[in-house]
A and B are shown apart, each in its own frame.
Chain A
Amino acid sequence: MKTTGLITRRRAIVAGLASIGGLVAARMPRDLPPSYGNLLRMGDTLTYATHRALLPAHSLVREYSLGDLTSFPATGTTNPAVSVKSALGEEYRKLQAGAFADWRLVVEGRVARPRAFSLAELKQLPARTQITRHTCEEGWTAIGQWTGVPLSHVLDAVGILPTARFVVLHSVDDWVDSLDLIDALHPQTILAYGMNGGDLPIAHGAPVRLRLERQIGYKSMKYVRRLVVSDEFDDGGMSGSIRNGWAWYNGI
């Protein structure tokens, strides 16, 4: 009788684990980012698939009050006019001198109406202000207030095609990154032009940066200049996170 009990328990455990595995497998995103046969990135891909399968698509991160704002380090590129040695850096210096009046955000790719938005045009779209925690992969966190246009409004304005699956972002400091549509259409995913009640400072990505609140800080790209809607995963080549040794999905 004891032996029978043990086998039943073992079967119950196996069945339980198998059904969780089956649930993950069934709800996995159809298009997983390639792991390049790299064991490390397979772990990241497993995390991505599990988060997408088990976590709600539109859960919101915690929003704080004004009294919670903290000091906020600026890391990575903090002024492309100085540190970016290509034509993009020179162009940025001129745009900055003109208070970004001539700055444009190009939105193209798999969209019905490709378009270049000026800063004023972005500000005419419905705005969202959120006070959220920036979680840096280094281990520090900071709370800031961000004002901007939800990326979903920008994508609505250009009309993404039904086959679209990713939004690829290009920055002035030559970084390329991408989001799946669950993150891109998330209500707290915004193109921020304001921080803590003022214009977005140069050091924090002026004139426009991404805020992607359910992932680690480096996914919130600073100095965004171009969005490309894509049907396929684009690793960004030599400018992408993967070739530079970083995980593509970092909700963990």
Chain B
Amino acid sequence: MDDAGGHARWVRVSHWIGTASVLVLAVTGVLILMVHPRLYWGEAGNDLTPAFLELPISRNHQHGGWEAPRPFFARAGAPVSASRTFDIFNQNGWGRSLHFLAAWVLVVPGAIYLLTGLLGGHFRSRVWPAASELAPRAVWRHVVDHLRLRIPPATGGPRYNVLQKIAYSSVLFAAAPLMVLTGLAMSPAIGAALPWLPRLFGGYQSARTIHFFAFVALVLFVLVHVVMVAASGFRRQMRAMTVGE
């Protein structure tokens, strides 16, 4: 493969469509999370059941605005009902719709990107780390160099070093598919048509929790990615990913 030309045009276009979509998905995702900042495991979880994790964001965090709970059955530990008295923060009317719109923006370019990358050999030859590159000693040397901010100067595209390959592969082949699948698993209509999908993740709330942690991983990736772009020569890298070189 000839890597002299920097990033291919389809890579540059996909990169920025993805950037715009993921930015909107992240902002609206946090907005949606703020409405119910509690995470659970399994199928069901709500303010009247214990949480796996409570995030101190938005006024809805531990608001406590509930009438006295009434048990459904006359036995100890029976499930209860309680009426909410608290006026919660909720911008989901547009937040959810914008989240799904941003996801739609990614569908067709994302499919073209993945198919082109798979079929054209881009992933195999430039993105997926070769076995020879994964020698622990070599990887460790790269890690130490990066931590000391001894970043190699920008090349304006491939070839990528092994840490870049590991990072890009983790996003493309682990975090992003996990994000899409856990997102679809939360849809009641898709869950009815494809019941194996929510089951795969252990239920609706498990899928929602995994969706959140995949988001955290992607945010960490973006932060490191932007720092590395700046450290290796911001102008050169931006030129390479926009007009190309």
Q: Which residues of A contact B (CB under 8 A)?
A: 6, 9-10, 12-13, 16-17, 39-44, 46-47, 51, 55-56, 59-62, 64, 68-75, 78-79, 133, 135-143, 195-198, 201, 203-204, 213-216, 244-247, 250-252
When the two chains form the complex, which single residue of A9, A39, A61, A216 contacts B120, counting CB atoms closer than 8 Å?
A: A9
Q: Given A39-B101, A44-B97, do A55 and B189 touch, yes or no (CB 8 Å)?
A: yes
Find chain B residues with CB under 8 A from A61 CB: 188, 191-192
B61 within 8 A of A: no
A201 touches B204 (CB 8 A): no
Find chain B residues with CB under 8 A from A137 CB: 35, 92, 96
**Closest B residue by C-beta to A62:** B195
Q: Given A13-B119, A78-B84, A213-B192, do A139 and B101 touch, yes or no (CB 8 Å)?
A: no
| Residues from 33 to 50 in B contacting A, C-beta threshold 8 Å | 33, 35-36, 38, 43-49
What are 22 A-to-B residue pairs whose CB atoms are below 8 Å?
A: A9-B116, A9-B119, A9-B120, A40-B97, A40-B101, A43-B97, A43-B98, A61-B188, A61-B191, A71-B49, A73-B82, A79-B83, A133-B43, A133-B204, A141-B46, A197-B72, A201-B70, A203-B81, A204-B81, A214-B189, A216-B188, A252-B100
**Complex Cα spacing A87 to B111, Å:** 54
Residues 96-125 of chain B, each 1 if its beta carbon lies under 8 Å from chain A, else 0? 111011001000100110011001100000
Q: Given A43-B101, A62-B191, A216-B188, do A71 and B204 touch, yes or no (CB 8 Å)?
A: no
When the two chains form the complex, which single residue of B32, B38, B43 contacts A143, counting CB atoms closer than 8 Å?
A: B43
A71 touches B46 (CB 8 A): yes
**Complex Cα spacing A183 to B35, Å:** 27
Residues 51-85 of chain B, each 1 if its beta carbon lies under 8 Å from chain A, else 0? 00000000000000010011011000001111110
Closest 10 CB pairs of A and B: A251-B189, A43-B101, A139-B36, A71-B48, A245-B93, A140-B46, A78-B83, A55-B193, A40-B97, A252-B187
**Complex Cα spacing A60 to B188, Å:** 10
B208 within 8 A of A: yes
Total count of chain B residues near the partner, CB < 8 A: 54
Number of A-B contacts (CB under 8 A): 168
Find chain A residues with CB under 8 A from B48 CB: 70-73, 142
Find chain B residues with CB under 8 A from A75 CB: 83-84
**Complex Cα spacing A245 to B92, Å:** 9
Q: Given A59-B192, A74-B82, do A17 and B111 touch, yes or no (CB 8 Å)?
A: yes
B100 touches A47 (CB 8 A): yes
Q: Given A6-B120, A13-B119, A143-B43, do A71 and B69 touch, yes or no (CB 8 Å)?
A: yes
Find chain A residues with CB under 8 A from B36 CB: 136, 138-140
B182 within 8 A of A: no
B33 touches A139 (CB 8 A): yes
A198 touches B98 (CB 8 A): no
| Residues from 192 to 245 in B contacting A, C-beta threshold 8 Å | 192-193, 195, 198, 204-205, 208
A72 touches B97 (CB 8 A): no
Find chain A residues with CB under 8 A from B79 CB: 69-72, 196
**Complex Cα spacing A108 to B37, Å:** 42
Find chain A residues with CB under 8 A from B189 CB: 51, 55, 214-215, 251-252
B94 touches A74 (CB 8 A): no
**Closest A residue by C-beta to B51:** A140
Q: Given A55-B193, A216-B188, do A244 and B46 touch, yes or no (CB 8 Å)?
A: no
B96 touches A247 (CB 8 A): yes
Find chain B residues with CB under 8 A from A214 CB: 188-189, 192
B191 touches A140 (CB 8 A): no
B190 within 8 A of A: yes
Nearest CB of chain B from residue A188's CB, rounded to whole Å: 9
A247 touches B97 (CB 8 A): yes
Nearest CB of chain B from residue A28's CB, rounded to whole Å: 15
A140 touches B47 (CB 8 A): yes
Find chain A residues with CB under 8 A from B72 CB: 69, 72, 195-198
Nearest CB of chain A from residue B208's CB, rounded to whole Å: 7
Find chain A residues with CB under 8 A from B43 CB: 64, 68, 133, 141, 143
Q: Given A73-B82, A138-B35, A252-B187, do A44 and B45 touch, yes or no (CB 8 Å)?
A: no
**Complex Cα spacing A51 to B72, Å:** 35
**Complex Cα spacing A227 to B122, Å:** 57
**Complex Cα spacing A93 to B32, Å:** 35
B44 touches A70 (CB 8 A): yes
Which residue, of B33, B97, B119, B195, has the highest number of chain A Cβ atoms within 10 A? B97
